Amino acid sequence: MTQFKQVKDSQVDISELMLPSHSNFNGKIHGGYVLSLMDRIAFACASKHSGAYCVTASVDTVDFLKPIEIGELVTMKASVNYVGNSSMVIGIRVEAENIRTGEIKHCNSSYFTMVAKDEDGKSLKVPGLILTNDHDIRRFAKSIKRNKMTLNRKKEFNETDFSSEEYVHLLENYKVKIEK
């Protein structure tokens, strides 16, 4: 196994024309279809970096910024932003291009955590990451920050007893009715 790989060594770009069969009843492309494409490119990028089969462990921050229209060319760009022992955070940027006008819009950015597996389903060590510019360093540092925020959120939720009467006040400003 290679000890370290550069970010550019495992970057993947894919483009696909959005067809009517990918749309919902409102004529926009299904978010689920977009997520499926994102999962595929995350798999390709992680597998390219690790040289192994990879599975999706989690998806962080999926915000649909702008709708994608039928007939637009969607391009997804994926790169390894962070590596752990067996896990990798794959950053994905989704853009849609109106092929008639050339206008490009940013539709989504997301982060998929992928884990490398062997034939028996056991986690495998992945190569380290060679950071060659400020952009790579910033993305790696942001991934560390996101990981810490996720751990803190999980810890807080595990330590909090939401069944307690003490927390009912949290619901006061929400559209909820309590009937016991």
Q: What is the DSSP letter of 70?
A: T
Decide if pLDDT at 21 tops 70.
yes
Phi, psi of 124, deg, nearest 5: -115, 150
Whether residue 15 contacts residue 74, with contact meaning beta carbons closer than 8 Å, is answered with yes
Distance CA 117, CA 25 (A): 39
What is the percent of the chain with per-residue pLDDT over 90, rounded to a whole number? 79
57, 128, 125: which is closest to 86 by C-alpha? Answer: 125
Instruction: Give the pLDDT score at 121.
Output: 94
Instruction: Give the pLDDT score at 156.
Output: 85
Phi, psi of 136, deg, nearest 5: -65, -45
pLDDT digits (tens, 9 = 90+) for 50-100: 999 999 999 988 889 999 999 999 999 999 999 999 999 999 999 999 999
The strands making up 73-83's β-sheet, listed across from edge to edge, are 12-17, 73-83, 87-97, 104-117, 53-60
Tell me, yes or no, if the pTM score tops 0.85. yes
Distance CA 59, CA 134 (A): 25
Distance CA 153, CA 99 (A): 42
What is the percent of the chain with per-residue pLDDT over 70, rounded to a whole number? 98
| CATH number for the domain whose boundaries are 4-131 | 3.10.129.10
Decide if pLDDT at 1 tops 70.
no
Phi, psi of 20, deg, nearest 5: -55, -30
